[in-house]
Amino acid sequence: MKLTGTKPVLLVVVISLVLNVGLALNAVAAETLTVWAWSTAAKGLSEIVPAFEKANPGVKVKVQEIAWEEMHKKLFTVLAAGTGAPDVTGIEGNLAQQYVTGLMDVTDRLEPYYDVINTCKLGEAQVDGRIYAIPWDTGPVGIYYRTDIFEEAGIKEFPATWDEFRELGKKLSTSRRKMIAIDPGLDVNSVNFYHIRPMLNQMGSGYLDADQNITLNTPEMARVLKMLHDMMHADDIAITNIKMRSPAWYAAMKSGRFLTVPGAAWFAGVIEGQAPEMAGKWGVFPMPAMEPGGAQAAALGGSVLAIPKQTKKADLAWKFVEFAVLNRDSQLHMFKTYNLFPSLETTYDDAYFDEPDEYFSNQPLNRLFASIAKDIPTYYYSPYFGELDDMVRDTAYQYLTKQISLEDALATMQSKGEAIKASFTK
């Protein structure tokens, strides 16, 4: 029998088998990193994945976008279970300490970058001098204000101290319009988040110190609480009966019921998103200092990236984290695309920071926030920071609504803070 064309057919079969085996081997050889993050954080990381994969042939990165609350709960569960964690995860900065027992110590790997990272970010996941997460975005705080009303009133200089802020508030406030809105504790994130924490932070204070001592009955806390109390009552320059960021709050913002609000860099998106029709009517000035020449820098919000201990690819996970948030180009791309304000200070010389923001009266908003970010003191957290924050809010509410004295508020905060810490460390 004559087998015509047998050799070419066999050759094709052999080549096909070789190719298939090669592809299978490549598939086996390819390493896959799993990354968890939420909303804009996940989208930002997804944007830089192609560049990372191109620079690292054979590596695939899968970014899973999970809702903020769900992700943080899920992460806590898988870390406690000892299985199911991603190779890299985003974490809200002020929550990071809740997870450190399940995270890789990155102190030595991160040390070469200390000098180019905002100092304030290094305390978010720091325990006993060791660091368990890598700083990503930060939230330098300023005072958002109504440019049109300030101009109409002939205001040429911004208040440099909180006492000057109060005096200006007396000048600009009327029966229907106040200098500031202070939610004394109606919302979960109210006076504690938008006022107490940044005002403590600018003085280099907080709920805890570097050694995890509770620092709530302090001259700094007394000064902040009394300042807020005076604005609400003695000065009568604050709206105090509207829940922060509620529909009523946004309606009051649009109608000019209050003229200023403290907020981080990310709050610009909140104002513009809620009131696009107010373009050209808002701007930002630095936080007033507690005394002439004093500190005017504080932070609110921001996130970190961390590497769970469960990963079998620690070196590759670090390589991705380093590429994502310790790399100038990556940080700038995520900032320009999703407004994730970088804590990496090598980005601050980029011309993008000097671009005028049309909505905010053509002010180069990002340059102001970059100048603030470099000077923010370290703020210390703990695994029980959330409980402390809730307690501070609830106790401050009692004082600010005249139910207890300042002395009682300070003593209550300190004793309850000690109890919260003790219950956690049992």
**For residue 29, what pLDDT is reported?**
54
Percent of residues, the chain, with pLDDT higher than 70: 93
The pLDDT score that the predictor gives to residue 23 is 44
> Where is average pLDDT lowest: 24-38, 45-59, 66-80, 276-290?
24-38
For the residues of 249-317, what is the DSSP string, one character each? HHHHHHHTSEEEEEEETTHHHHHHHH-GGGTTSEEEEEPPBSSTT-----EEEEEEEE-BTT-S-HHHH
User: Tokens 């899968």 identify what position?
Assistant: 62
Average pLDDT rounded to a whole number, residues 96-102: 95
Q: What is the pLDDT of residues 223-243, one digit of tens each?
A: 999 999 999 999 999 999 999
Q: Is the pLDDT confidence value at 377 over 80?
A: yes
Rounded distance between C-alpha atoms, residue 147 and residue 150, angstroms: 5
Contact between 223 and 102 under an 8 Å Cβ cutoff? The reply is no
For 418, counting Cβ atoms within 10 Å of its Cβ (0-12 exposed, 13-18 middle, 19+ buried), the class is middle
Give the CATH architecture of domain 139-299+370-425: 3-Layer(aba) Sandwich (3.40)
Pairing of β 282-286 and β 178-181:
unpaired
Residue 279 has pLDDT above 70, yes or no: yes
At residue 10, the pLDDT reads 39
| Averaged pLDDT for residues 115-123 | 94
Q: pLDDT digits over 145-172, tens only?
A: 999 999 999 999 999 999 999 999 999 9
| Model confidence at 210: pLDDT above 80 | yes
pLDDT for the residue numbered 425:
81
pLDDT digits (tens, 9 = 90+) for 325-371: 999 999 999 999 999 999 999 999 999 999 999 999 999 999 999 99
Confidence at residue 25, expressed as pLDDT on a 0 to 100 scale: 39
Tell the burial category of 181 from Cβ atoms under 10 Å away from its Cβ (0-12, 13-18, 19+).
buried
Query: Would you identify the CATH topology of the domain 32-138+301-354?
Result: D-Maltodextrin-Binding Protein; domain 2 (3.40.190)
Give the Cβ contact number of residue 134 at 10 Å: 24
Q: Looking at the predicted structure, is the pLDDT value of residue 380 above 70?
A: yes
| Joined tokens for residue 111 | 């040390």
pLDDT in tens, 3-45: 344 444 433 443 444 444 444 434 445 799 999 999 999 999 9
- Look at residues 239, 282, 274, 238 and name the one whose alpha carbon lies nearest to residue 142: 282
Mean of pLDDT over the chain: 93
Domain boundaries, the chain: 32-138+301-354, 139-299+370-425
d(CA 319, CA 322): 5
341 and 331 Cβ atoms separated by less than 8 Å? no
| CA-based torsion, 45, 50, 51, 54: positive or negative | positive
DSSP lists the bridge partners of residue 306 as 89
> Given this chain, do its domains 32-138+301-354 and 139-299+370-425 carry the same CATH topology?
yes
pLDDT band for position 188 (50/70/90)?
confident
